[in-house]
């Protein structure tokens, strides 16, 4: 039985094109761009992203406490300077709520709303594929595997309970055997 092929968004597209297009296309562009950035950089499922609360961000230590869905392993991820700037701005501009990402009515953003927003951003960025939120998680795993991060570390970062769920990213890595032999 052949393995199902993962549909991926190229990490360069996520890092540059999609967030920038999302930011320029609507009045909630910063919120939308921050959602894409955080989902991608931390390999979050849509439900984990939409459930993020401000008390999970440690601004003093630049850390994000990730609560995983599907019985995944929780972890603490470092936040980059870019992510910290985006989160600080979002906190200043967003309505008062315990949730990090809220709709214009002030309620927590839904997974369906995130999927629709991501589809609109992909169309604006002229990506020729149908984009869905889980592609950001896959793109994160693939990008980290291509950077040479070990499978166990990747498993912990993505919150996978079982390593066989993580191995798919290292199997896809085009550079996984690079440098094994030196002439």
- CA of residue 147 relative to chain centroid, distance: 16
The pLDDT-based confidence of 5 (bands split at 50, 70, 90) is very low
Torsion of CA 69, 141, 11, 68, to 10 degrees: 10
Q: How far apart are CA 122 and CA 86, in angstroms?
A: 20
Q: How far apart are CA 75 and CA 9, in angstroms?
A: 25
Average pLDDT of the segment spanning 149-169:
80
| Mean of the per-residue pLDDT values of the chain | 82
> DSSP secondary-structure letter at 56?
G
CA atoms within 13 A on the CB side of 126: 0
The pLDDT-based confidence of 25 (bands split at 50, 70, 90) is low
Residues with a catalytic annotation lie at 45, 70, 134, 137, 160, 169
Judge whether residue 154 has pLDDT over 80.
Answer: yes
The pLDDT-based confidence of 35 (bands split at 50, 70, 90) is very high
């Amino acid at each position: 039985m052949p393995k199902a092929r993962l549909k991926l968004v190229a990490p360069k597209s996520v890092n540059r094109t999609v967030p920038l297009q999302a930011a320029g296309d609507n009045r909630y562009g910063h919120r939308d761009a921050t959602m894409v950035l955080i989902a991608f950089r931390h390999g979050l499922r849509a439900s984990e992203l939409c459930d993020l609360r401000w008390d999970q961000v440690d601004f003093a230590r630049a850390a994000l406490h990730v609560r995983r869905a599907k019985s995944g392993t929780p972890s603490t991820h470092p936040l980059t300077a870019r992510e910290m700037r985006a989160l600080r701005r979002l906190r200043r501009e967003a309505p008062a709520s315990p949730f990090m990402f809220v709709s214009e009515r002030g309620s927590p953003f839904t997974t369906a709303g995130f999927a629709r927003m991501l589809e609109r951003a992909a169309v604006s960025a002229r990506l020729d594929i149908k984009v869905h939120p889980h592609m950001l998680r896959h793109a994160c795993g693939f990008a980290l595997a291509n950077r040479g991060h070990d499978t166990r570390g990747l498993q912990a970062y993505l919150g996978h309970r079982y390593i066989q769920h993580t191995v798919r990213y290292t199997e896809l890595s085009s550079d996984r055997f690079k440098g094994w032999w030196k002439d």
